[in-house]
A = this chain, B = another copy of it.
Amino acid sequence: RCISNTIDETKSGVDAFYLIYAASLVFFMQAGFAMVCAGSVRLKNLQNTMLKNLLDACGAALGFYTVGYAFAWGSSYPGIKVDNDELTFAGLSNFFLSDLDQKAFWLFQFSFAATSATIVAGALAERSQMLAYLLYSTALTAFVYPIVVHSIWTPNGFLSSFSANPLLGIGVIDYAGSLVVHVTGGQTALIAAHVLGARKGRFHEIDGRRIAKDFPGHSIALKMLGVFILWFGWYGFNAGSVYYITVKSNAVLAQNAVVNTTLSAAAGCISALLAKAWLSERQTGEATFSLTDALWGCLSGLVSVTGGCAIIDSWASIVIGLISGLIYLWGSNLLVKMQVDDAVDAIPIHLCSGVWGALSVGLFAVPEYVQLIHPGVTAAGWFYKINDGRLLACQVIGILFVLGWVTVLMLPFFGLLHYLGWLRADSLDEIVGLDISYHGANVLTNYNQGNINIADDNG
């Protein structure tokens, strides 16, 4: 009896520790997103962009504390058996963190919600108003995103593999959230960037030819730092998604997840880098090795492996990564053709690679691993069971649901903001830079080096 108590205490301590650890790392990804955005914008909009990054973390904390968590996870603790097959649209308990035992689980889920929100920041950078951003990030983290979570990850969700009667007997499988987190954020970014319009001067016509002008970000070093911070944080994201590490099968899954995360990131980096070099060689006769493309390829690999990392083989994670690097390049190119302006390529990275990640689960999920995470669900990637396309079908349905749900809510939302004139910054403000317009800054105070006038500093 006494021993049994000690074990229980140790177990619960370890599980709390594990969630705190994983949540801390995922939270730290906010710094990564902030540095990626900071490095990608022009100096004149630096403060504005980073303030949005900061505010969506803070807004997500308050939004997810009040109602977001309740809508997503109310009465649906992970690991709890489902007694009936009741499907609900949203959870309706644990508002304001009430009656929540495992509070570290809230922190972990909050950090996911904040990730989903911050994905949009870069796509809207350099031309949107502060207020619009605040309204959108609250709406996303308090309602839009929680419903997606509830539907796919909780035992009461209508698409969930954890429910008693899952869709097609399987349900949608999205281990750490290629679909739930990245497609939700990425699709919001697409809608918002489309409604908002491009930055002034980004697309123009000369003699009938459409020209897309690049606006190189002001610091490549900050981009690099941001990507490494994100990669580091992703270990918390993908390992933490087993929730409890003191279950043997979860320890297997978590270890598989971190290895595959690494391999897919590496593969995505290399494929985007080399494909772009090959393309540039064909177009200009000289191969250019672009660090930015390598970095964004890395992120694409991370996004796309998030959905399946724990339940696929390592070779598959490399395949997924290699393809995601190409998908990113394709998506980025497509956006330019569609004249949608995305300062940090958030849409190709999170939306396109996220969709690919969700699909890839339907292709490569290993039956044995799926059993470990969804006991009783006999599902396999198409690659393993060529005559059973049910999982792949579930994944497609899941993708359509998320795209549809986000579009149905967010398109009118951003349309309304645009109609009210709350979305787009004033034209002159945009030209001088939002830092001067809204943040009382002088461009040179962001980095006032260069031509320093010492006398002037000492008035």
Residues of A within 8 A of B (CB): 3-4, 6-14, 16-21, 23-25, 27-28, 30-31, 34-35, 38, 42-44, 46-47, 50-51, 53-55, 57-59, 61-62, 65, 96-97, 102-104, 106-107, 110, 130, 200-201, 204, 213, 215-222, 224-225, 227-229, 231-232, 235-236, 239, 244-248, 250-251, 254-256, 258-259, 262-263, 265-267, 269-270, 273, 280, 288-291, 294-295, 298, 314-315, 318, 431-433, 438-452, 454, 457-459
**Are A438 and B288 neighbours in the complex by a CB distance under 8 Å?**
yes
**Are B457 and A34 neighbours in the complex by a CB distance under 8 Å?**
no
CB-CB nearest in chain B for A227: B54
- A-B residue pairs in contact (CB < 8 Å), sample of 28: A20-B235, A23-B235, A24-B232, A24-B235, A24-B258, A27-B262, A28-B228, A42-B452, A43-B449, A43-B452, A47-B291, A50-B220, A58-B266, A58-B269, A59-B266, A61-B262, A62-B267, A65-B263, A65-B314, A96-B314, A97-B259, A97-B314, A104-B254, A130-B289, A288-B440, A431-B454, A431-B458, A444-B449
Beyond the given A17-B17, A290-B439, please list 9 additional residue pairs across the A-B interface where CB-CB is below 8 A: A9-B251, A10-B11, A31-B225, A55-B270, A220-B445, A220-B446, A289-B438, A431-B458, A447-B449
Distance (whole angstroms) from the CB of A113 to the closest CB of chain B: 12
**Are A446 and B446 neighbours in the complex by a CB distance under 8 Å?**
no
B residues less than 8 Å from A46 (CB atoms): 220-221
Distance (whole angstroms) from the CB of A376 to the closest CB of chain B: 20
B residues less than 8 Å from A9 (CB atoms): 246-248, 251
B residues less than 8 Å from A443 (CB atoms): 449, 452, 454
Distance (whole angstroms) from the CB of A410 to the closest CB of chain B: 23
Distance (whole angstroms) from the CB of A182 to the closest CB of chain B: 20
Residue picked from A9, A20, A130, A254, most chain B C-beta under 10 Å: A20
**Are A459 and B204 neighbours in the complex by a CB distance under 8 Å?**
yes
**Are B54 and A288 neighbours in the complex by a CB distance under 8 Å?**
no
Report the Cα distance A450→B453, complex, angstroms.
13
B residues less than 8 Å from A4 (CB atoms): 3
Report the Cα distance A200→B55, complex, angstroms.
35
B residues less than 8 Å from A220 (CB atoms): 46-47, 50, 441, 445-447
B residues less than 8 Å from A248 (CB atoms): 8-9, 12-13
The 5 closest A-B CB pairs, nearest first, are A450-B450, A31-B228, A201-B459, A61-B266, A58-B266
**Are A447 and B218 neighbours in the complex by a CB distance under 8 Å?**
yes
Distance (whole angstroms) from the CB of A427 to the closest CB of chain B: 10
CB-CB nearest in chain B for A16: B251
B residues less than 8 Å from A106 (CB atoms): 259
B residues less than 8 Å from A58 (CB atoms): 265-267, 269-270, 298
Instruction: Please judge, given known A-B contacts A30-B228, A62-B267, whether A457 and B44 are in contact too, CB under 8 Å.
Output: yes
Instruction: Please judge, given known A-B contacts A11-B6, A220-B46, A250-B13, whether A104 and B235 are in contact too, CB under 8 Å.
Output: no
**Are A448 and B216 neighbours in the complex by a CB distance under 8 Å?**
yes
Report the Cα distance A100→B39, complex, angstroms.
40
Residue picked from A222, A262, A445, most chain B C-beta under 10 Å: A262
**Are B263 and A62 neighbours in the complex by a CB distance under 8 Å?**
yes
**Are B219 and A294 neighbours in the complex by a CB distance under 8 Å?**
no
Report the Cα distance A273→B65, complex, angstroms.
20
**Are B232 and A457 neighbours in the complex by a CB distance under 8 Å?**
no
Report the Cα distance A11→B11, complex, angstroms.
9
B residues less than 8 Å from A267 (CB atoms): 58, 62
**Are B51 and A294 neighbours in the complex by a CB distance under 8 Å?**
yes
Distance (whole angstroms) from the CB of A300 to the closest CB of chain B: 13
Report the Cα distance A14→B42, complex, angstroms.
45
Report the Cα distance A200→B281, complex, angstroms.
28
B residues less than 8 Å from A229 (CB atoms): 31
Report the Cα distance A452→B42, complex, angstroms.
10
Report the Cα distance A54→B57, complex, angstroms.
28
**Are A218 and B449 neighbours in the complex by a CB distance under 8 Å?**
yes
Report the Cα distance A448→B444, complex, angstroms.
12
Instruction: Please judge, given known A-B contacts A10-B246, A246-B9, A458-B200, whether A315 and B96 are in contact too, CB under 8 Å.
Output: yes
CB-CB nearest in chain B for A221: B38
**Are B449 and A446 neighbours in the complex by a CB distance under 8 Å?**
yes
Distance (whole angstroms) from the CB of A293 to the closest CB of chain B: 10
Report the Cα distance A450→B318, complex, angstroms.
41
**Are B16 and A245 neighbours in the complex by a CB distance under 8 Å?**
yes
